């Protein structure tokens, strides 16, 4: 029993140390600029990999392929790729509810990338007009609720909210759990509705033929 307690305390210490890496309040501007440059360089590498390798090739790897593909798409800020379609494609091959859990976890972990970008580039973002408007809109509202809703409701501005979450200084642990529960809940609802949508989809496709010009 004592050994289990020591193991738990050691694991907790490592997790706390990991989250403390993102504390940038006492870091110099030069180190922040270096961190932003390194992040953008990693994004460029990931974009290069995605351009050479088809994500469909990872589908044969099952849940591991799902996790890798969703993580890579999520970690790159402002990548114009609908993750929902990627998740939906795995519904046809794997257990939809397991896909929702794995995909939500990968999306939450990947969103730490845009969060980190916002955290490090807060001073630069303050000069951006779009950020100022978003800041004025979010400031009087509960930030965690806004972040959860942005994660739960499919929208093309999700990366904007993750970057803003970092710039607002939302604690990483709270940020992660908001995105995690929002994404997992969204995908679980999609998984529950998937059998019904799958059954009626052919009828909609056939009906659409009559309205095609």
pLDDT digits (tens, 9 = 90+) for 121-151: 777 666 667 767 776 777 777 888 889 999 9
> Angle CA(175)–CA(178)–CA(182) in degrees, nearest 5?
140
What lies within 8 Å, CB to CB, of 140 at 6+ separation is none
- Asked whether 194 and 99 are in contact (CB, 8 A), the reply is no
- How many angstroms separate the first and last alpha carbons of the chain? 72
Ranges 50-54, 90-94, 124-128, 130-134, most confident:
90-94
- Asked whether 137 and 144 are in contact (CB, 8 A), the reply is no
What lies within 8 Å, CB to CB, of 54 at 6+ separation is none
| CA atoms of 186 and 165, how far apart (whole Å) | 20
Examine the pLDDT at 53 and tell me if it is beyond 80.
Answer: no
Q: pTM (2 decimals)? A: 0.68
Instruction: Determine how many CB atoms are found less than 10 A away from the CB of residue 163.
Output: 25
Q: Judging by beta carbons within 10 Å of its beta carbon (0-12, 13-18, 19+), is residue 141 exposed, middle or buried?
A: exposed
- Asked whether 212 and 137 are in contact (CB, 8 A), the reply is no
């Amino acid at each position: 029993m004592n050994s289990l307690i020591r193991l738990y305390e050691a694991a907790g210490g490592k997790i706390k140390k990991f989250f403390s890496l993102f504390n940038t309040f006492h870091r110099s501007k030069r180190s922040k600029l270096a961190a932003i440059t390194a992040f953008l360089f990693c994004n460029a590498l990931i974009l290069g990999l995605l351009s050479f390798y088809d994500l469909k090739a990872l589908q044969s790897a099952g849940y591991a392929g799902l996790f890798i593909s969703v993580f890579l798409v999520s970690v790159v800020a402002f990548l114009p790729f609908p993750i929902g379609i990627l998740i939906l494609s795995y519904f046809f091959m794997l257990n939809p509810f397991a896909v929702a859990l794995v995909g939500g976890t990968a999306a939450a972990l990947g969103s730490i990338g845009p969060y980190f970008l916002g955290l490090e580039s807060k001073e630069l973002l303050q000069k951006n007009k779009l950020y100022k408007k978003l800041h004025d809109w979010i400031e009087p509202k509960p930030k965690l609720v806004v972040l959860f809703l942005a994660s739960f409701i499919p929208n093309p501005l999700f990366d904007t909210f993750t970057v803003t979450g970092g710039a607002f200084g939302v604690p990483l642990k709270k940020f992660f759990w908001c995105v995690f529960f929002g994404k997992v809940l969204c995908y679980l609802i999609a998984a529950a509705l998937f059998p019904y949508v799958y059954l009626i989809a052919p009828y909609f496709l056939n009906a659409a033929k009559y309205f095609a010009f």
